[in-house]
Amino acid sequence: MILPTSAIATALLLAPLVASNPTPPRHQAQVVPIRQQRRAFNTSPDTPFNVAAAQAERNKVSDRYANLASKKRGLATEGKREVKVKAIEPFDIQSLKKRQSSGENSLQDQSDAVYFGALSVGTPAQQTTIDFDTGSADLLIPTENCSGCGSPLFNTAQSSTFEASSQPFEIQYGDGSQAMGTLASDTVTVAGLTVQNQVFAAITQESGDFSSGGIFAGLMGMAFPALAKSQAMPFFFNLAQANALTSNLFSFYLARGDNTGSELCIGCTDSTKYTGNVNFYPLDASITQGQQVYWSIAADAITVNGQTATQGLSCVMDTGTTAIYVPTAYAQAIYANIPGATPAPGQPDGTYAYPCGSQIPEIAFVFGGQSYAIDSTDFNLGAMTQYAVLAASRVKRGFTNFLNSLRDGTLCMGAIMGLDQGVNFATVGDAFLKNWYSVYDAGGNRLGLAKSNQ
């Protein structure tokens, strides 16, 4: 069935009510196994730093968080809305497992990079793969005959519940990466949690960063509804508003290297994945003028070996990003404490390399007076290659320091990168999140962190 644009607009408004009726209607919590494959960077001095992939991610982050100061005004103009869900105490999935089994699929991890899991769509259900991303809010599902898309593709003609529209959808980044299609709706299920009439972008063309190299097919944004370009209610918030979850939160465990067990727990936490208590911090909407758009919390500072290196800033936790992006002045202050660190010639300003053999000091974000360090293994994004050295030879500034560093051993790229966007904030990616179990509590309007069991 094809809906006119006016009809799909009505469906967007009704989706939270119609779609959030779970099947069966009971409070649920489920573990989503996440597989892991190389996204952009490696984290070993024995493997090369991927220059092209790093630039693509930088472009994506720059576009994703562009014009933050005007976000709320723009969102209000587009008719987007805030959402309220009930606050419920975090539910530990392990307490359920003691009484009964639950749907669980372990996430397989290969080299550090992209984390993705299974999603089914349509009637009968067709399975595809999705990158779960806390830095965006749209659901993108590639469809049959999609050009440049990863697989498996969703065959819309084989679903009796698929409803299309003529309303176009497009996301494009500065490097030319784009995803195009039209808005549609269908039944969507993740780990047994089902939303009927879930609105999503039925993608017919992808290029650049969106094509994912065929590693996975689609993208599920898990940020707040105000961010959704489609103006559709995200899958998680549909479940939460329908009171379908045991707790109105989700949590991530991102395994390191070749370790297995990465998972997304929807409606729950998993106490086997972390040590100690989960410390919660209120969400910070200061970078979007008071409207909650991102999963962001306020940091007191970034410290190096316990000494304050930067001022406080708002931190957006983004599972769809590998590196950590801070204002360039902050990056400079941090790398000033790493022996042999130097601006990486041939790379954008704010990008630093350091001798792979250097002892990395403890670099930590401070939230509520508590320090959360970046593991030194995760700080290493890979070794510079001859390609990067040749690129550097064409850049006079900093080349002498670069050569001096080379004499001390192979240079590696650091996970903290400078990127100025006019607002005092950091994009905190997997280089931090692998070391800390993260809990995204929509009901409590807070974000929690605990030490990951790696």
Structure tokens belonging to residue 44: 């070993």
| Catalytic pick among 109, 133, 186, 378 | 133
Euclidean distance between CA atoms 450 and 148, whole angstroms: 39
Backbone angles phi, psi at 207, to 5 degrees: -155, 160
Map residue 229 onto helix, strand or coil.
coil
Structure tokens belonging to residue 97: 């497992």
Structure tokens belonging to residue 22: 């779970």
Backbone angles phi, psi at 190, to 5 degrees: -130, 120
Q: Specify burial of residue 124 (Cβ count, 10 A radius: 0-12, 13-18, 19+).
A: exposed
Q: In the block, which residue shows the tokens 């990158």?
A: 131
Return the ∠ at Cα 251 (arms to 245 and 252), rounded to 5°.
145
Map residue 212 onto helix, strand or coil.
helix
- Reduced DSSP (H G I as helix, E B as strand, rest coil) percent helix, strand, coil of the chain, to 5: 20, 35, 40
Instruction: Count the neighbouring beta carbons within 10 Å of the beta carbon of residue 241.
Output: 22
Euclidean distance between CA atoms 44 and 408, whole angstroms: 18
Map residue 129 onto helix, strand or coil.
strand
Euclidean distance between CA atoms 406 and 19, whole angstroms: 58
| Catalytic pick among 92, 131, 318, 375 | 318
- Catalytic, 270? Answer no
- Catalytic, 430? Answer no
Q: Beta 436-441 vs 249-253: how paired, if at all?
A: antiparallel
Euclidean distance between CA atoms 373 and 449, whole angstroms: 12
Partners of 140 in beta bridges: 201, 219
Annotated active-site positions, please? 133, 318
